[in-house]
Amino acid sequence: MANPSLKPQRKRAFSVANLPGFTTIAIVAFVALYLPIITLAAYSFNASQSVAVWGGFSLDWYAKAWANDQVKDATVRSLIIAVSASLIATAVATMAALGTTRRRSFKGQTFIYVVINQPLMVPEIVSAVALLIFFSSIKVATGYTGLGYLIIAHAAFCIPFAYLPIRARLEGMDLSLETAAADLYATPWQTFRKVTLPILAPGVMAGAMLAFVISLDDVVITEFVKSGGQDTLPTYMLGQMRRQLTPEINAISSMLLALTVVLLTLFFLLTRKNDQ
Amino acid sequence: MNEKAANEKAVIQKNAIEARNIVKTFGVGQAAARALDDVTVEIRQGEFFTLLGPSGCGKTTLLRLIAGFEMPTEGTILLDGQDITYLPPNKRPVNTVFQSYALFPHLTVAQNVGFGLEMQGRPKAEVNDTVARMLALVKLEPLAHRKTNQLSGGQQQRVALARALAPSPKVLLLDEPLSALDLKLRKEMQIELKRLQVETGITFVFVTHDQEEALTMSDRVGVMSQGKLQQVGSPKDIYTKPVNRFVASFIGETNFIAARAEAGKVHLATGDTIDIAGLSAGGNVTVTIRPEQLRLVDKTETGAMRATVKSLVYFGTDTHCYLSLTDGSEVVARLQSPASGDAGLTPGQSVGLRAVPGAAQIVLD
Ligand SMILES: Nc1ncnc2c1ncn2[C@@H]1O[C@H](COP(=O)(O)OP(=O)(O)OP(=O)(O)O)[C@@H](O)[C@H]1O
Ligand SMILES: [Mg+2]
């Protein structure tokens, strides 16, 4: 008789990922992450006033949110800030990524990484307080109270989010492509325009989208830096919830969620390894 | 007078590339390493010149200096008699075929080939014309609109070639362009490259560490070792008249036998005497004889070296016969296999050994 231990048991490739329990933990984590979000989205279609008791299907809360001028204002403001801040952050991050990957390692390189990634490491509340104090002295000195402060503050904390995907893309780029461009009579500027930037483009787009989403979603720094009447969508929602909780908040959240999902999906498509 | 001046000019212009006393060091202070050590070489217009040498001998470095990707620590590089030592790569009419091909992944085959011409600001019609001509030259017309990552290794190789040839450079540099291809494709591309060189008349500077490739393709070969150019000459010269031990052993297989030169005669350490044409050296020398230039003769024949057969290895067309000489040194003789396949030799057998007249050479150490 054949050795029983050599009999094929079950068709399952040898893999660490097949360890028992992994699947269970993954499912629990998945439920914990997505159940609240699904509930939130579901209750945005609730016909009753409550955010906890189901009263039938309706689109009333969407209509209400849509007609609310404060929501409209806050949305427009959020978009202006997010677009401007992500553009600024992406430009700065692109230059920073070029500067940090296109040279042999140099003294102070670690220091520069820390500086660029500061917003990821310093607690947001600390940055918020610091910005509040800093900007209020400028407000006093200049008298300017526009959206500029929020845009600059958002751009600052968005830089590391834009920087990381751009740097990853740059590090994966074959440097001999630039050498080849120079060999084929391209000036340094032409090399950047015709070779570096097009190859970098998915990374830049991904960085910009991530920065946009991060800016759109910010509460803490916005709450501290904004002047009166400068509510963004998240700070408006926070203010509303202090007064009363209606499914209108769910509706706004769901729309924000939908936008974020679309952008993040694009982000993942762009940063996929096997692009082009 | 005029004619003489024209003649002189023709002579001067014969060199496409002239590298003079090139030194290239990487790093500074203690860590400094000389990648190139006083290299002087002249590459003639329209020739297929090969740089041959073992890994790390400085072939790529020399090529990068000619292309302008790197600047020499010392020395001058001339292109058609003009000093280009410090000219940036985009200002040199010299193009490179990279070992990794370095094709632009975001462009199509045709756009890749047209890149150089476009950067030179040539008119659109001319770019399109030349691209079509180049694609025909490397037989890639059907793939013009593919992205380069949808091509096989051999096809990518052709795109890289077409791209580098399109701007009609004065010199084309090729850094081990065939090393990533499998044997069959490699042989095909060797023939293809040679054909392209003859058809375009462009000076090719080809880098390889494959001696067979160097011998079969080149008009002239420069053999390098440890940052120094050891010998420059036609494949035949390099093979039959190696100047030193390194060149003799790097190009093909060979035997070395210690000897003393005296009064026009060479006395081998084995006690035998052989004739060497044009002998000028005296004292202790090394004699080299290629395995295929050795003949086995009867052991009683006068003037033949005495040897003992150690082992035999059958290679099909020929049989390698390893022998030991009376001084204990070992040599290998390559004998044509007889029709029966059996050379009629057995290990331990005593035989006579003789070099074909003129085949023995003296080399420096
Ligand atoms: N950028 C560099 N920095 C430091 N050392 C270098 C650099 N480039 C080359 N070298 C050194 O110079 C020497 C010659 O290198 P090179 O690349 O020219 O060799 P090669 O003949 O092309 O070898 P291979 O056949 O392996 O490609 C090597 O010892 C290498 O380590
Ligand atoms: Mg090399």
User: In this predicted structure, what is the pLDDT of residue A92?
Assistant: 95
Give CA–CA dist A13/B270, Å, rounded.
Answer: 66
- Say if residue A8's pLDDT is above 70: no
- pLDDT tens readout for residues B249-299: 999 889 998 888 877 778 887 777 877 766 666 778 888 999 999 988 888
Domain count, chain B: 2
What percent of chain B has a predicted confidence (pLDDT) above 70? 94
- Asked if residue B355 lies in contact with residue B274, where contact means CB atoms within 8 angstroms, the answer is yes
Give CA–CA dist B67/A89, Å, rounded.
Answer: 38
Task: Identify whether B28 is part of a domain.
Answer: yes
When pLDDT is cut at 50, 70 and 90, the band that residue A6 belongs to is low
- pLDDT tens readout for residues B150-171: 899 889 999 999 999 999 999 9
Within chain B, what is the greatest distance between any pair of CA atoms?
Answer: 79
Phi and psi for B261 in degrees, rounded to 5? -100, 130
Query: Which residue, among A175, A177, A178, A184, would best test binding to B if mutated, counting the most B CBs under 10 Å from its CB?
Result: A184
User: In this predicted structure, what is the pLDDT of residue B219?
Assistant: 95
Task: Identify whether A220 is part of a domain.
Answer: yes
Give CA–CA dist B179/B233, Å, rounded.
Answer: 23
Could you tell me the distance, in angstroms and rounded to a whole number, from the CA of residue B59 to the centre of ligand 1? 8
B57 lines ligand 1 (CB under 6 A): yes
Could you tell me the distance, in angstroms and rounded to a whole number, from the CA of residue B60 to the centre of ligand 2? 4
- pLDDT tens readout for residues B170-221: 999 999 988 888 888 888 889 989 998 998 999 999 999 888 899 999 999 9
Give CA–CA dist A37/A59, Å, rounded.
Answer: 18
Q: A195 vs B104: CB contact, 8 Å cut-off?
A: yes
For B318, the token pair is: 């020929």
Give CA–CA dist A150/A85, Å, rounded.
Answer: 9
User: In this predicted structure, what is the pLDDT of residue B277?
Assistant: 67
For the stretch B73-77, contacts whose Cβ atoms lie closer than 8 Å and that sit 24 or more positions apart, written own/partner, are B73/B23, B73/B24, B73/B25, B74/B21, B74/B22, B74/B23, B75/B19, B75/B20, B75/B21, B75/B22, B75/B23, B75/B38, B75/B39, B76/B18, B76/B19, B76/B20, B76/B21, B76/B22, B77/B17, B77/B18, B77/B19, B77/B20, B77/B22
Task: Identify whether B9 is part of a domain.
Answer: no
Query: Quick one: which H or E segment has residue B216?
Result: helix B211-217
Q: Chain B partners of A187 at a C-beta cutoff of 8 Å?
A: 90, 119
Parent domain of B288:
253-363
Domain count, chain A: 1
When pLDDT is cut at 50, 70 and 90, the band that residue A274 belongs to is very low
- Say if residue A276's pLDDT is above 50: no
More confident site: B4 or B315: B315
Report the amino acid identity of residue B278. Answer: G
Closest approach of chain A CAs to the CA of B27, in angstroms? 12
User: In this predicted structure, what is the pLDDT of residue B12?
Assistant: 47
User: In this predicted structure, what is the pLDDT of residue A12?
Assistant: 65
Q: Chain B partners of A195 at a C-beta cutoff of 8 Å?
A: 104, 106
User: In this predicted structure, what is the pLDDT of residue B68?
Assistant: 95
For B308, the token pair is: 């003992």
Q: How many residues does chain A have?
A: 276
Task: Identify whether A122 is part of a domain.
Answer: yes
**Other Cβ atoms closer than 10 A to A142:** 9
B59, B185: one domain:
yes
* Full 3-state SS string of A102-163: CCCCCCCHHHHHHHHCHHHHCCHHHHHHHHHHHHHHHHHHHCCCCCHHHHHHHHHHHHHHHH
Give CA–CA dist B66/B18, Å, rounded.
Answer: 9
Sign of CA dihedral B142, B146, B152, B156: positive
Q: A184 vs B100: CB contact, 8 Å cut-off?
A: no
Query: Quick one: which H or E segment has residue B119?
Result: helix B109-119
User: In this predicted structure, what is the pLDDT of residue A152?
Assistant: 94
Task: Identify whether A158 is part of a domain.
Answer: yes
Q: What is the mean pLDDT of chain B?
A: 88
Task: Identify whether B145 is part of a domain.
Answer: yes
In three-state secondary structure terms, A46 is: strand
User: In this predicted structure, what is the pLDDT of residue A10?
Assistant: 62
| pTM, 2 dp | 0.79
Mean pLDDT confidence for A74-93? 95
Q: What DSSP letter does each residue of B169-208 carry, written as one string?
A: -SEEEEESTTTTS-HHHHHHHHHHHHHHHHHH--EEEEEE
When pLDDT is cut at 50, 70 and 90, the band that residue B128 belongs to is very high
Q: Give the residues across from B15 on adjacent strands.
A: B44
CATH of the domain at A173: 1.10.3720.10
Cα A42 to its chain centre, rounded Å, is 24
More confident site: B147 or A55: B147
Show which of B186, B208, B240 is a domain's final residue.
Answer: B240
When pLDDT is cut at 50, 70 and 90, the band that residue A13 belongs to is low
CATH of the domain at B317: 2.40.50.140
Mean pLDDT confidence for B335-350? 80
B47, B190: one domain:
yes
- Say if residue B6's pLDDT is above 70: no
Give CA–CA dist A113/A122, Å, rounded.
Answer: 14
- Say if residue A50's pLDDT is above 80: no
Q: Relative to the alpha carbon of B35, which ligand is closest?
A: 1
Q: B95 vs A186: CB contact, 8 Å cut-off?
A: no
Phi and psi for A231 in degrees, rounded to 5? -65, 135
B136, B49: one domain:
yes
- Say if residue B10's pLDDT is above 70: no
Task: Identify whether B246 is part of a domain.
Answer: no
Show which of B205, B240, B275 is a domain's final residue.
Answer: B240
Give CA–CA dist A90/A207, Å, rounded.
Answer: 6
**Other Cβ atoms closer than 10 A to A251:** 25
Give CA–CA dist A129/A123, Å, rounded.
Answer: 10
- Say if residue A19's pLDDT is above 80: no
User: In this predicted structure, what is the pLDDT of residue B358?
Assistant: 81
B31, B129: one domain:
yes
Q: What is the ipTM of this complex?
A: 0.81
More confident site: A2 or B260: B260
Show which of B203, B219, B240 is a domain's final residue.
Answer: B240
When pLDDT is cut at 50, 70 and 90, the band that residue A246 belongs to is confident
Could you tell me the distance, in angstroms and rounded to a whole number, from the CA of residue B20 to the centre of ligand 2? 21
- Say if residue A144's pLDDT is above 80: yes
- Asked if residue B221 lies in contact with residue B234, where contact means CB atoms within 8 angstroms, the answer is yes
Mean pLDDT confidence for A90-105? 86
B230, B259: one domain:
no
- Asked if residue A105 lies in contact with residue A172, where contact means CB atoms within 8 angstroms, the answer is no
Phi and psi for B178 in degrees, rounded to 5? -100, 0
Task: Identify whether B273 is part of a domain.
Answer: yes
User: In this predicted structure, what is the pLDDT of residue B167?
Assistant: 95
More confident site: B281 or A74: A74
Parent domain of A125:
60-275
B236, B274: one domain:
no
B271, B233: one domain:
no
- Say if residue B238's pLDDT is above 70: yes
- Say if residue B1's pLDDT is above 50: no
Closest partner CB to A276 (pick from B103, B120, B147): B147
